[in-house]
Structure 1
Amino acid sequence: MSLEYYNRIEVASRDEISTLQLKRLKHIVRHAYNNNNFWKNHMANADVHPDDIKSLQDLSKFPFMVKNDFRDNYPLKLLCVDRRDVVRLHGSSGTTGKPTIVAYTKNDIKMWSEAVARSLVIAGVTPDDIVQIAYGYGLFTGGMGAHYGAERLGSIVIPISGGMTSRQIQTIEEIKPNAMMVTPSYMVNIAEAMDKKGMDTRKTSIRVGIFGAEPWTNEMRSHIEERFDMDAVDIYGLSEVVGPGVAQESVESKDGLTIWEDLFYPEIIDPETGEVLPDGEQGELVITTLAKEAMPVIRYRTGDITRIIPGDVRSMRRIEKITARNDDMIILRGVNIYPSLLEEQIMKVPGLSSNYLIERYRMGAMDQLRIRVEPVDEEQDSSRMQRQLTYNIKSTIGASVDVIIEPLGVLPRSEGKAKRVVDLRRYN
């Protein structure tokens, strides 16, 4: 595969992209309606029909799909193809309720692999590179999605999966990968483990890290890039849609993620009213798959907060880096707080690490918030850091929170998706 690996559609005119989107949208809506009772009833209940799709704007007449639709139709009641055409199943862990299961045909896997391969290209990965994949394999889409995409590009793949930190470090040291695909929180934990071994994290072979599966801030990006002397870029996806590869940040700009609009149609809605918002306004991202056969999704509410911005070197539009979700929002004494906002303030305090935990608890009838965070080493002045972080948060959000600087090594380490918020209120 050439280093100039671009599908023509990536640099097509907006008219060409819109024409392809409409053609595929008409097909996928009819495909879902004709081959699955959920979709037929879902559309009928909203008094819409596939014939109503005359333009891309007509999609707004159709009802939303939400995560509970997957749970209510578990395991395979959303299937729109014959079971014999299904070649793979992925799904969620089910740790917060009934799991979700998503099916894929051969064409779905091919489409997904292509999307991830495109993503790796604009992240700066080449067919000559070695890619270490430290996302979890199995039902989680991260590992397999990254794997097939890197193989599609022609890179050498190290399918190490998540965990086994010592083995991760040994692989980095001995095989010398050029790219790392992993959650940002686990990359920080790898850095800590390398520090304990006396290794210089800035002298690894890793040129670029492709980070996803959890929200992360630009402050976290700067921290990782400084620790490893690498470029850190964002990849976006979610298991209900396809997995990683829905959108990707370019290594040149690091300013918004190109969404592969020939495969996924994005909308931004007002989370409260469901009204479609114009490009440039912030709201909840809604995605419709345009080329997925086994389990297409139509107007799926992702819960992710972002906005659509124009393309840069590609004509496909971008989404702003996602650092917040609707269901992550904490309301403290009438103030709306996203964990990413607290992370930004933590990363601004010299001497504090990115290993933190937000605890919600109740004192009397009032909800309270506590942040537990560790220093980068034991030589730091805990009192100074506690005062500065408390002041930063109060100045930013207008509400006071408890700040505890824990001894180094007290807080749990993530080997996958970091759990940043713990709700203790039910125990009080």
Structure 2
Amino acid sequence: MMYNEEFETLPRQALEALQFKRLQATVGRVYGSVPFYRQAFEKAGVRPESVKSLEDLQRLPFTLKQDMRDSYPYALFAAPMDDIVRIHASSGTTGKPTVVGYTRKDIEIWSELMARSLAAAGVHKGDIIHNSYGYGLFTGGLGAHYGAERLGASVIPMSGGNTRKQIMIMKDFGSTVLTCTPSYSLFMAEAAKEEGIDFRSLKLHVGIFGAEPWSEAMRGEIEAKLNLCAIDIYGLSEIMGPGVAIECREAKKGLHIWEDHFIPEIIDPQTGAVLPEGERGELVITTITKEGIPLIRYRTRDITSLTYEPCACGRTHARLSRMTGRSDDMLIIRGVNVFPSQIESILMRIEGVEPHYLLIVDRKENLDTLEVQVEVDEQLFSDEIKVLQALSHQVEKEIKDLLGVTCKVRLVEPRTLARTEGKATRVIDKRTLS
């Protein structure tokens, strides 16, 4: 099912013509109304009239998260505050929060793109959406909420927390769709098991999970434990919020990014050079319809690839491959590049290991060390010591064989590692702690 078939199936030539028209308008607008962009363009030796084709986008400077922090709170806004009807912000855990403003038109577009995304996941007007994304300054909860209402579905605004009550509500209210982070969905599965509730007795048919990288192996784990179809959604508050891209239920092979509103590029994170279709690198997004805070070539730090191959669902918009992590989350251990999602994929293939883990990186005697703490199931943990030792050695060997990095595996009891209602903490890098 499509929410806006006319735009979701635009032929490539028409789509690119629309992108170019909107790009020119956006570049002219930020040059004239945002001092940061005027200075950045002049430093790069470009002006709005320099953009004569989509290829000229590469001539424009990047926008970084630090630029948004330096412009705190409103210096990047391209619309007067009288026109801003909503303000969201990041958590600011690593510095000042990044602040984003929305005009009424921005909210309308966001609602439509989330409605498109929900429809692509197989959600329809008769569904009851149990929304466990956080409400407030975080964009997840309200983004999903407005999209659900735009689609015409019923929405339960649960937000995070009070997990046992969430499960009761899903059961009693007949929820058919679950939206939350993938790690929280597995936490829900644990809590339901403790309460003696089988997810197979619920009416859920699809879960839409995002806000953190997750592996194909974790998808299988979620689908088995929650008895639903697990769909990957992508978004970030700086660009819009959830609904920038999503998998379609027909294929589940990459996330359609709504190209009539965003222009994606893949760059080499080290050199900034644009990479060819299919090559993995850092995702860069230019917004071409936002009024409140348009962003030119925003470096997301998310690692993915891009394909324009036709999709079985009929949508013509490009697809992003599953995010493997962030360029700034990549661990370098004794010269080896490692993403947490790579280790997750290995763990999920090993019988007896639970999908809850923590990577602890340290430096001892000038050498990097990696400890992988991972939970095992209750039956296995009560087994003989030699069985656990064999499992530890198996995990260590597979990580070494597949990733080329030596680690120490520590098996821990079920429900030992901290759970969270939002993004899961997967890495503690003690090398960066003072």
Give your verdict on TM over 0.5: yes
Determine if contact 1:374/1:409 at 8 Å carries over to the other structure. Answer: yes
Give me the TM-score of the superposition, normalised by structure 1. Answer: 0.97
Deviation at 1:34, TM superposition (A): 0.8
Q: Secondary structure at the match of 1:389?
A: helix
Residue 387 (str. 1) matches residue 420 (str. 2): no
Residue 358 (str. 1) matches residue 365 (str. 2): no
Deviation at 1:385, TM superposition (A): 2.3
Distance 1:220 1:116 in 2: 24
Q: Which residue of 1 aligns with 2:421?
A: 415
Deviation at 1:202, TM superposition (A): 2.7
Determine if contact 1:203/1:228 at 8 Å carries over to the other structure. Answer: no
Q: Which residue of 2 aligns with 1:78?
A: 76
Determine if contact 2:3/2:115 at 8 Å carries over to the other structure. Answer: no
Q: Which residue of 2 aligns with 1:114?
A: 112
Alignment of 1:197-346 (within 5 A): 197-310=195-308, 311-312=310-311, 313-346=314-347
Q: Secondary structure at the match of 2:290?
A: coil
Q: 1:281 to 1:379 in 2, by over 3 A?
A: closer
Q: 1:112 to 1:426 in 2, by over 3 A?
A: closer
Determine if contact 1:248/1:257 at 8 Å carries over to the other structure. Answer: yes
CA RMSD of aligned residues (A): 1.2
Distance 1:427 1:113 in 2: 40
Residue 401 (str. 1) matches residue 425 (str. 2): no
Deviations 1:198-238 (A, max 9, x none): 22123321100000000000000000011122100100011
Give the letter aligned to residue 168 of structure 1.
Q
Distance 1:232 1:4 in 2: 18
Deviations 1:304-348 (A, max 9, x none): 111111241211111111122101111111111000000011101
Distance 1:192 1:305 in 2: 30
Residue 147 (str. 1) matches residue 148 (str. 2): no
Deviation at 1:98, TM superposition (A): 1.1
Give the letter aligned to residue 349 of structure 1.
I
Deviation at 1:55, TM superposition (A): 0.4
Distance 1:204 1:393 in 2: 37
Deviations 1:360-379 (A, max 9, x none): 11212111111111113244
Distance 1:116 1:353 in 2: 32
Alignment of 1:118-197 (within 5 A): 118-197=116-195
Q: Secondary structure at the match of 1:276?
A: coil
Deviations 1:18-68 (A, max 9, x none): 110000000011111111111111111111101111100001000000000
Deviation at 1:414, TM superposition (A): 1.3
Distance 1:4 1:235 in 2: 16
Give the letter aligned to residue 336 of structure 2.
V
Distance 1:297 1:359 in 2: 35
Give the letter aligned to residue 401 of structure 2.
S
Q: Which residue of 1 aligns with 2:384?
A: none
Alignment of 1:39-58 (within 5 A): 39-58=37-56
Deviation at 1:426, TM superposition (A): 5.2
Distance 2:391 2:99 in 1: 44
Determine if contact 1:203/1:229 at 8 Å carries over to the other structure. Answer: no
Distance 2:322 2:6 in 1: 25
Q: Secondary structure at the match of 1:417?
A: coil
Give the letter aligned to residue 315 of structure 1.
T
Determine if contact 1:378/1:408 at 8 Å carries over to the other structure. Answer: no
| Stretch deviating more after TM superposition (353-362 or 67-76) | 353-362
Give the letter aligned to residue 136 of structure 1.
G
Deviation at 1:386, TM superposition (A): 1.2
Structure 2 stretches of 5 or more lacking a match?
Answer: 382-386
Distance 2:222 2:202 in 1: 13
Determine if contact 1:163/1:416 at 8 Å carries over to the other structure. Answer: no
Deviation at 1:195, TM superposition (A): 1.0
Same amino acid, percent of matched pairs: 47
Distance 1:237 1:188 in 2: 21
Determine if contact 1:269/1:284 at 8 Å carries over to the other structure. Answer: yes
Distance 1:322 1:265 in 2: 17
Deviations 1:374-422 (A, max 9, x none): 1132444533321221111011112210100011221101111001001
Determine if contact 2:120/2:248 at 8 Å carries over to the other structure. Answer: yes
Determine if contact 1:208/1:231 at 8 Å carries over to the other structure. Answer: yes
Residue 90 (str. 1) matches residue 88 (str. 2): yes
Q: Secondary structure at the match of 1:273?
A: coil
Deviation at 1:4, TM superposition (A): 5.0
Distance 1:362 1:273 in 2: 28
Structure 1 stretches of 5 or more lacking a match?
Answer: none
Q: 1:176 to 1:385 in 2, by over 3 A?
A: farther
Distance 2:188 2:97 in 1: 29
Q: Secondary structure at the match of 1:327?
A: coil
Deviation at 1:243, TM superposition (A): 0.6
Q: 1:195 to 1:399 in 2, by over 3 A?
A: same
Deviation at 1:5, TM superposition (A): 2.6
Determine if contact 2:130/2:156 at 8 Å carries over to the other structure. Answer: yes
Determine if contact 2:139/2:242 at 8 Å carries over to the other structure. Answer: yes
Give me the TM-score of the superposition, normalised by structure 2. Answer: 0.96
Paired residues in the alignment total 426
